[in-house]
Every structure is written in C-alpha cells, then in structure tokens.
Amino acid sequence: MIYQTLNPALGLLEKIYEFSSDKTVETVLSALTSEAAAWRQIPVGERARRVGGLAADLLSRQEELAAMMAREMGKPVGQGRSEVEKSAWLIKYYAEQGSHFLADEAIASEHAKSYVTFEPLGVILCIMPWNFPFWQALRFCIPALVAGNAVILKHAPGVPECTVTLSELFSKHGLPARHLFVDEKQIASIMADRRVAGISFTGSVRTGKILAARAGLHMKKGVFELGGSDPYLVLRDADVAIAARICAESRLINSGQSCVAAKRFVVHKSLREDFENAFCEAMNVEYGDPMENPALGPLARDDLRLKLHDMVQESLNRGARLLLGGSLPNTRGFFYPATVLTDITTEMSVWEDETFGPVAALAYFEEEDDAIALANNSEFGLGAAVFSKDTERAELIARKLDAGFCAVNDMVRSDPRFPFGGIKDSGLGRELGSYGIKEFVNIKTIKVR
C-alpha cells in the first residue's frame, strides 16, 4: 500500500505521500474524541447549517477538482464535474433534511410521554474507494457529521490529493473530520480502539468480510458496501433502442469502474440480433486522455486492467464470443476498450465475478422465470433493472430480483433521497436517505411514566 498520485493516462508517478505515524494516529484520535463530545452538543439544525457550507466551496472549485480526479484516477473531466455537482446536491440535501430525519419520534403508549430519539455514536472510521473519490467519501461523511458524529477518513491510496483536499475543506468549516494515511496494521489498531464506535467501508468483498469480522469482534457498528454485478433484464416487449442506450450508458459509467454499473445483460432471445447491434453501436466509444473529456478514460491502475483482460480471455476460452473490443491497446496509459461478450454461461468469470471496467456480458432467455433465475444467479445483490413497455409487469419482476435497488426502464444510480446498499455479498446496511443517516446513531427509547 503506497499513497501516491500515479497518473493512469500517462502511467507516470507524480507524487508519493508519507504514511501517518502512530503518534499522528494517536493525536487525531484524541482530538476527534474531544471534538465529537463538543459537536454532539450542537443542535442538529446548526450542525446541518455548518455542514451545508461545504457545497459552495465544492462548486467554486469544480474545474480544479475535476482535473484532480482525472490526474489521480483517470475520470474524464466532464464526469468529474458531474461528481462535484452531485456531491454538492448531497450536502444541500442533508443540510435541508437533517433536522427532519433526526427529530424525536413520538410513540403512543400508556405512558405520559414516550418517544424515540437519535443520538450520535462518536468517532466513526470510514474506509473509502478511489473510483468516486469525492462522492463516495461525502456519501458517508455528510450524514454522519449531521448526525453528530466525528469522522476519520482513510481514503484509497490512489487518491491522496483528493483526500487532503477533503480534509482541508472539513477543517475550513470547523467540522470534526480528519484524514489518515495508514496501513493495514494501523487500521486494525484503530478499529480496536475503544474511542472508535463504528466503521463504514466501501470496497472489495474480500476486504469487507475481513473488516466486518473485525468489527464484530469488537462489537462495533458497521456498514459495508462491497460492490456488485448488476443484471439488466430486457424483456420481449422492451423498446430495444432505449434499452440498449441505457444499458450501454450504465455499463460505461466511470469507464466501467462503478459498483452499481450494469454488468450482466439478460435479453429475450427474440431480441438477440436487434439488441446486439444496437448495444454494440452504443458501446463503441473512443477512449482517450481524461483531460480532453472522452467517453472512456483509462482504468485507475494497470493491475486492474490486466485482471480485467484475463477475465475476458478466460471467458473466450470457455466459449464466449467477442462482439466488440477485447484487446489490450499498445499505447501509453492504462486504457482498455469497451468490450462486449455474448454466449455467456454462468460458469464464466465475467458472469461470476465483478468486472470493474468497460466489459459487458450478454446472456439470453425464453421464459421470464428463466430471466429472473439468471439474474439472481450471483453472489452479488446490489442493483438491477428491467426493461419493458408493460411497466406493471416489469415492476412485479423487479420485486423478485435479489437486489437492494431496482429500476424499471432506467439505470440504477445512487441518489441522496433513496437508501443505497445491497444484499448477499454486496454488503450490509444502507447509506443515504433517511435510513442512511440513522445507521450511525443510538436509536434510544425514552418513556416517562
């Protein structure tokens, strides 16, 4: 684990950051413990107002932050601008709704007074991924701070400049949130510390399970968002042109590096030729320098690109057929072309595992029950979508899919207003909405006789 800015479009190392010493870790823990005690005493409306001040700062630095993401993890600048705007929306949403979400809830009983109140837990450790370096960190930090908690931000090693920038913004607004550049041993020590009340983690299934077990060992509250292999079902009566366009758009989000992107496509056999033609046309986009805002940027690291290519080759060796892409470019940078594979079976790695890059896997069905079974044939359960002109029938199918979020005739995307998270190996708990802000609070019952 090295905290570094490694430009994925150029393959060039730009800067290495020092690890936080054990002394620094203790200083941050001690300071945040004191700050958390003071922060929780501030009325939730005032906390929300202070947190809300971040939105204007983000928007005023939109171009700078978009370029920062392009330089550190390869996000095309247009998508970076959108991430900043979405992050500002998130902040404004909780600034406006925080007091409402955390208001005491009266419960009728035989007592003179009975209600539920929501109290912060204290210091929460969040371990965040690199693919949406501002949105995903703020997706946890903002509701946690409005709820009255303090935050330790341990961000991904590949986006240290984004991390420092976030930490500086928190400090500017007097918020109890600090970053640390720590290794696995230090993370274990922080989780074991009695001053830390919980953990929020977004990342791989393997690491998530290790951290969940460690949280359980210390009886710490945890929320874990561990990725997905989202199935999109295209029914017999779907509008093929619309479905193909939305499926491709979802598959190419962030150059395919999104947990909630469409990855497996389950299409009615009668639509096979039409869908393949329309989908490949929509997927056939150019990659290039993220600073020039191409449709497809580089993958964040070369090891991720090589792993993705190995998955494609393994599936081809097992009988998959290549419709688009599938070759390693002989160019500088960690680029991989948009790739479409058909004749996929459930034993192939592009079906079984999460493809974190612009690779789409197509399978086909005759009966709707077969489509549901194919969609649910996965260890993941984050998101799913159904395409049909009969929206009532599509909605019934959506209710049968193993996922935390289902869309009809649209793509799945996180939204401040709705709870976000999955089932099975996609994780535990929820972020966002009124549910997410209550994950790291003590839901306390009070009765007065």
Q: Dump pLDDT digits (tens) for 213-244.
A: 999 999 999 999 999 999 999 999 999 999 99
Q: Which amino acid is at 258?
A: S
The CATH number that domain 230-377+383-408 falls under is 3.40.309.10
Structure tokens at 105: 């809830």
Return the domain boundaries, the chain.
4-227+424-448, 230-377+383-408
Share of the chain above pLDDT 90, in %: 100
Q: Residue 81 in contact with residue 69, Cβ under 8 Å?
A: no
- pLDDT at position 1 is 80
Give me the sheet containing 113-120, strands edge to edge: 105-106, 113-120, 441-448
Q: Which amino acid is at 290?
A: P
Helix spans in 318-367 (H): 349-352
Q: Is the pLDDT score of 373 beyond 90? A: yes
In angstroms, rounded to a whole number, what is the distance separating the alpha carbons of residues 12 and 256?
22
- CATH superfamily, with its number, for domain 4-227+424-448: Aldehyde Dehydrogenase; Chain A, domain 1 (3.40.605.10)
Structure tokens at 163: 């991390």
Structure tokens at 382: 């984050």
Judge residue 33's burial from the number of C-beta atoms within 10 Å of its C-beta, 0-12 exposed, 13-18 middle, 19 or more buried: middle
- pLDDT at position 97 is 98
CB within 8 Å of 133: residues ≥ 6 apart: 69, 72, 73, 155, 156, 159, 162, 163
Strand partners for 386: 233, 408
Please give the mean pLDDT across all residues of the chain.
98
- pLDDT at position 337 is 98
Q: What pLDDT, in 10s, does the model give residues 293-314?
A: 999 999 999 999 999 999 999 9
How far CA 303 is from CA of 212, 266, 288, in Å, comes to 26, 29, 19
- pLDDT at position 198 is 98
DSSP assigned state of 420: B
Q: Which stretch of DSSP H or E encloses residue 361?
A: strand 359-365
Q: What pLDDT, in 10s, does the model give residues 119-130?
A: 999 999 999 999
Q: Residue 130 in contact with residue 257, Cβ under 8 Å?
A: no
Structure tokens at 341: 């594979």
> Is this prediction's pTM over 0.85?
yes
DSSP assigned state of 119: E
In angstroms, rounded to a whole number, what is the distance separating the alpha carbons of residues 300 and 298?
6
- pLDDT at position 242 is 98
- pLDDT at position 308 is 98
Most distant pair of Cα atoms in the chain: their distance? 76
CA dihedral 306, 312, 318, 319 (to 10 degrees): -150
Structure tokens at 47: 């906390």
Q: What pLDDT, in 10s, does the model give residues 18-42?
A: 999 999 999 999 999 999 999 999 9
Identical fold for domains 4-227+424-448 and 230-377+383-408, yes or no, is no
| 383: confidence class by pLDDT, cuts 50, 70, 90 | very high
Phi, then psi, of 56 in degrees rounded to 5? -65, -40
- Residues annotated as part of the active site: 225, 259
Beta strand 177-179 pairing with 150-154: parallel
